[in-house]
Structure 1
Amino acid sequence: MKHYSYEEWQLYVKDELSEDRRDELESHLYTCNQCLEVYIRAVTANETSLPAFLEDDDFTNRVMEMVPFTNKNVNNVEIVSPVPVTDSTFKDVEMVNSVPGTQSDTARKPLYQQAGFHYLLAAAATLLLMFSGAFQSLATYAGSLEKPMIQEKKPRPSVTEGVINKTFAWMDSLEKKEAIKK
């Protein structure tokens, strides 16, 4: 693997290379940790020549001025504004105290629409079914379904096996007859 010199990385940091050469060095950075360390040294050495950010607030304000104006949605009211809408735009607007999903909003709901009521109802139904034996009967029924409904048929014996079985049965009957005569 070919490694690049410190001077080449300094040229890269100062943006003094051709586009093809820059692409070559960038793709090499993805695969070579050694050159990455040299590149980091070149960046720290040229740190003073890099552009510095102005104050954070000033930078943010400049960026926000470049953002196109869009429709803002405040308190479920769509605002179409030809001027930028900022935090100070609504400083004199009285905000509504109720936000959907807060405690004051759920206090207004009827009891049967609250989540706690549904949990209690489910727990009560579970206890009722458990103590009444409904779950036990379901378990018994499920156990009976596991048994095979159709019994497997034994394969039919071949003709040879049938002849042999009849021969042995005939011989057994002859032995019984002779045992009775004696």
Structure 2
Amino acid sequence: MKHYSYDEWLSYVKDEVSDKTREELESHLYTCDQCLENYLQAISVHESSLPVLSNESSFTDLVMAEVSKQKEVNENPVLKKQPVKAKKPFYQQAAFHYLIAAAATLLLTFSGVFHSLATYASAVEAPKHMKEKKHSVTEGVIDKTFAWMDSLEKKEANKK
């Protein structure tokens, strides 16, 4: 970042700079604290030669009137003088991108790609070896217990 010297700020305060330089210095003040210090020092040194306000309240009223005029100009597009924006080529506009996306979606839908993906996804979700129901250890113990009890009942029935 380029910093401006105290002498450059003093020239600015004395209104001895070109319009282009004035704009650069003013925009630089927003971002640089060091240059703001130099500017404030230049103002304090050159303060005696600055104009004295005879009626501060009328000055404030004039400034507020100018601010409201500028606000009206900025809000009214007819009064606002903006450069005409160059028209973007059709392929850089959002509508073109949406049209391409819609066409791609229709193409994939009618060609069956989405159906194939759905079939593949269902196959991945339920693998073949997982489709067979595996019995838990508890179910196996219960089945064996019932089988043992059935065999005991048969033996008892055979004895009678």
- Give the TM-score, by structure 2 length: 0.42
- Calculate the TM-score normalised by the size of structure 1: 0.37
Relative to total residues, which structure has the larger helix share, 1 or 2? 2
